[in-house]
Homo-oligomer: A and B are copies of this chain.
Amino acid sequence: MQDMSNNAVIVRKLMQSSEGYPKVGENIDFVRRPYDASQLQLSDNFPVLAKVLYISVDPFLKLRLIENLDADEEVTKPFEEGKPLSCYAVVTVIDSLSEKWKKGDRLFSFANWEEYTLLSTQTLESSCLITDKDDSMLKDYLGVLGMAGHTAYIGLKHVGHPKANETVLVSSACGAVGMMAGQLAKSFGCYVVGSAGSDEKVEFLKNELHFDDAFNYKKENYSDALKRTCPKGIDVYFDNVGGELLDTVFLHANLYARIIYCGALSQYCAKEPYGLKNTMQMITKCIRFEGFSYYYYYSLYWDECCSTIKKLLSEQKLHFKLDMKVGLEQTPEAFTSMLQGKNFGKVIVQVAQD
């Protein structure tokens, strides 16, 4: 074991406000560390030692890099300076005191951004077993079969309740969750419109993912774009960006519209939060606007999500785009680039092969 490493991506210094992007080296950093068995001892509270294979790099982590955030849940509280970041991951169990999880099991689990990590009993409560034998599918559990796919499925189906022929708008529609939400909405028979930040992405949505329409939010007034692309108004809005687009959607929403508030990418690096001014439309139109955090739902719907998405995959009804980096040292840069919208597809990092 003496030559092994346990490199990590750690928080150097939390940010003082939400404004701007975390800086590599200043706020987050890749650090080389030797494998230290004394730090990785199993115990009642940490009964599983795992090797991290793939990690998911997600926008919401930005919120946990800000100091004094008024949040105390495990999934939302600020990261600790000097410690690794953590997120959804695919791991292999290499040692275990647990009756439930055995050596060799592959898990979808929350895990630290380090090569080897201990999993707590609390974390393990919501970890899910990956039963596929095909190793090439493991990475998909951070993509089409993972948080992105499941978030889209659970949010759309169990929060948004779309009906056939309704108009479903998806923001950040080329993002990991957005592209899944749009395609799932198509599979439910809806009229699907996406917003994205480049003409290339708009074409991808229309031509590759078969969205009914799409627009480049950087080039067109939001209200004009929504009138043009959603002529019958909006019944369901799967929102990944928040801010001004969300505020404009209230004006174009139909009676009984549902807004799935899944992310607020436009706000994560904003100087000040955007104030939503059009929410009174919610009263007159009986709009349901519902926040949705994957963290609290995924273990409940794991089997339903996996089987539904696998079926659609087998019918060739889903396309998905992974933006995979290889090597943990790529993670800090991949994270900050993603926050600036430079990725095209779901960002994951391969930390190790099995």
A60-B283 Cα distance, complex, nearest whole Å: 10
A261 contacts the other chain (CB 8 A): yes
Chain B residue with the shortest CB-CB distance to A296: B286
- Size class of A's contact patch? 35 or more
A94 contacts the other chain (CB 8 A): no
The answer, among B256, B277, B288, B291, for a CB contact under 8 Å with A286, is B291
The answer, among B251, B277, B289, for a CB contact under 8 Å with A275, is B277
A87 contacts the other chain (CB 8 A): no
Which candidate, A127-135, A166-174, A208-216, A262-270, is the interface stretch facing chain B?
A262-270
A287 proximity list for chain B (CB < 8 A)? 290-291
A71-B285 Cα distance, complex, nearest whole Å: 10
A272 proximity list for chain B (CB < 8 A)? 277
| Interface CB pairs A-B, < 8 A, 19 | A71-B284, A76-B284, A255-B296, A261-B283, A262-B283, A264-B283, A273-B278, A275-B276, A276-B276, A276-B277, A276-B279, A281-B291, A283-B291, A283-B293, A286-B290, A286-B292, A286-B293, A286-B296, A288-B288
A270 to chain B, nearest CB (A): 10
A199 to chain B, nearest CB (A): 29
Interface residues of A in 215-268 (CB under 8 A from B): 242, 251, 255-256, 261-264, 267
